Chain A
């Protein structure tokens, strides 16, 4: 019996040690070219981008780099949700005294309809313990938690990356530049984009996501942080969808109520009907990304 108890105790202690390390210290592991720690280590910046994978795919970082003297970084991941953007802003603020001339936040209308969830385990790796707890409490308030989810969030999520870090980090490093992807993706073609099915008719606004936008704006104003919300143009089929337009209006109302600056897809000279510019409905191809970024830089320079 003693041996059974001893075995269980050893297993428990090893598991606890691994879990504590992951949750408390993974954010301190050096990762050269992406993530919050890398952004913090980059020091004072002219432009910091925070959004979702759409933002990351649609803004070309080498071009931004040239335009802003190499003082740019992108921490756009953490799922297609405003709550993650808000939490990432807090992380940046709490973990450094760096100054940022301008922050660009993603104006993703459909981000307002996302459930608060763990949609990218990368965020578990990157966030401090306080950030993790905050995201979890947001998920809990939204009713998106249960025991298996709690287990995934605090125990298993991000563990693969942690264990394989010495092997995978050099591989991932080749795919990122200042937090953004460097993949030179190509369009799958008109036929694919014209026939790709999507159904957003059932989407409903999430109170938690709307609240996160308001909270983020209030914090930026309080901190004296200059910031702009950017809508990157989706493929015209998604852009013209009435549901997309409905939430675009909701987002714009939120920003206008607080006199926040924003740049819409329609403000930029970019052809969102050209399939060569897109990889899918949301994400641009390399060609689209460079064309769009060129126009975006012009707008930002104004």
Chain B
């Protein structure tokens, strides 16, 4: 059941009515039942795998000893690997249970926290089951933590109009991002990336920029809808995005993009890897080779490479995803290793980080670095990605002809000019809104009804309907 569909709307309305009408001790049970129905809606068989994960993890982590922890990892990663990466072993008939990458990471995070004694294992199987199955976050995250969710999920929430208002506003904002921005860019991006050899450098550059915006609008739009629905139920999901395209460096970008996944990697892979014995041993050897390097930097090199390769593989085992992970690992390492030199250079040149031009330069530079990486993330093969890089860097020309050619993926000539104008205005609108939010302007918080009304009208008149899927569902 898609989050943008009539059945889902009916589903949520029925849930809200029952949720706020029944006695308070049964509220969380209703959530569990509805979450189970939501999960089983499309393919009831899927539930077998998620229940296997839930049951095994809950029983094993009741007593969180090392052997149980390892067994939990084997079971959950085993199911994930078989389904997510089966295509690479010629087992084409397997259908990937939806949300598997997200709920497996939630399960592993829970198991790791229990094992590290950061949390008490859940004493109620159904509470734990609700944590994993909770429907707004099962499809695309956020990858919730048990600490953050457990009390919220099982405690009583009385009806509050402010929650409905705030949730409704988030949903409208999410629909605007998904149906208007992502929906409109989708056609252009798909057309160009499916046959990149048909287009020149300028068209490819535009397609790459559009893809970066589409991905953000699609993914953060989903998050807004999920957070909005959850808010209506009185439950706050973790935020997954904080206007990432306003980041001034790549580390900041990854602290603001897909936050829950990056937090997960930091807590459950990066930190354990940095403090691991093997890393200490490697660091010692490395330090002998590079005696002038900072110890802290040396100790992060291998964990960083590991984390980024795993992040790439989490998205898929294709070469493009691994390449994407390696690309960001190199960028991050370069950034870490050169930080002290850059700092000295800045001092010499008397650069002031608060200068507006420096801020704009840093923001644009970060956006460009991200866009270069996103080529691999979107390209249908590494061959296509390399072709795109080559064309962009060697064959980009700006002339009337190339500008007109760049309009063609918008559709036939009759509508292309109007589409371009509307798309530019809508993207500018989105970024102005985000910029004002970034600067803490009260304009939109103070006039939410007006803003919500305008977004609703724009979404209704300019949205591309009939697109129920979200991009990150594929992961």
Which residues of A are interface residues toward B (Cβ below 8 A)?
1, 3-4, 6-8, 10-11, 14-15, 18-19, 53, 77, 120-122, 146-149, 151-152, 155-156, 159-161, 163-164, 167-168, 171-172, 175
On whether the beta carbons of B466 and A152 are closer than 8 Å, the reply is: yes
* CB of B464 closer than 8 Å to a CB of A: yes
* CB of B349 closer than 8 Å to a CB of A: no
On whether the beta carbons of A172 and B417 are closer than 8 Å, the reply is: yes
- 6 interchain residue pairs of minimum CB distance: A148-B466, A160-B418, A11-B456, A148-B465, A164-B418, A151-B465
Give the residues in chain B near A14, CB-CB below 8 Å.
Answer: 453, 457
Contact flag A172-B466 (CB < 8 Å), given A7-B452, A164-B421: no
Contact flag A7-B449 (CB < 8 Å), given A161-B415, A164-B422, A168-B421: yes
On whether the beta carbons of A7 and B422 are closer than 8 Å, the reply is: no
- How many Å lie between the Cα of A4 and that of B452 in the bound state? 10
Task: Identify which of A53, A156, A168 contacts B465 (C-beta below 8 A).
Answer: A156
On whether the beta carbons of B414 and A172 are closer than 8 Å, the reply is: yes
- How many Å lie between the Cα of A6 and that of B449 in the bound state? 9
A-B residue pair count with CB separations less than 8 angstroms: 76
* CB of B124 closer than 8 Å to a CB of A: no
Give the residues in chain B near A122, CB-CB below 8 Å.
Answer: 414-415
On whether the beta carbons of B419 and A160 are closer than 8 Å, the reply is: yes
Task: Identify which of B413, B460, B465 contacts A152 (C-beta below 8 A).
Answer: B465
Contact flag A15-B165 (CB < 8 Å), given A160-B419, A163-B422: no
On whether the beta carbons of B417 and A120 are closer than 8 Å, the reply is: no
On whether the beta carbons of B465 and A120 are closer than 8 Å, the reply is: no
Q: In the complex, how many residues of chain B place their beta carbon closer than 8 angstroms to a beta carbon of chain A?
A: 26
Residue of B nearest to A183 (CB): B413
Contact flag A159-B461 (CB < 8 Å), given A7-B453, A149-B466: yes
Contact flag A15-B457 (CB < 8 Å), given A160-B415, A172-B417: yes
Give the residues in chain A near B67, CB-CB below 8 Å.
Answer: none
* CB of B126 closer than 8 Å to a CB of A: no
Give the residues in chain A near B464, CB-CB below 8 Å.
Answer: 156
On whether the beta carbons of B168 and A4 are closer than 8 Å, the reply is: yes
Residue of B nearest to A22 (CB): B461
On whether the beta carbons of B422 and A160 are closer than 8 Å, the reply is: yes
**22 chain-A/chain-B pairs, Cβ below 8 angstroms:** A4-B164, A4-B165, A6-B449, A7-B452, A7-B453, A7-B456, A11-B453, A11-B456, A11-B460, A14-B453, A14-B457, A18-B461, A77-B414, A151-B465, A152-B465, A156-B461, A156-B465, A159-B462, A160-B418, A161-B414, A161-B418, A164-B422
On whether the beta carbons of B461 and A168 are closer than 8 Å, the reply is: no
Interface string of B142-157 (1 = CB under 8 A from A): 0000000000000000
Give the residues in chain A near B414, CB-CB below 8 Å.
Answer: 77, 120, 122, 161, 172
CB contact list, B402-448 vs A, under 8 A: 412-415, 417-419, 421-422
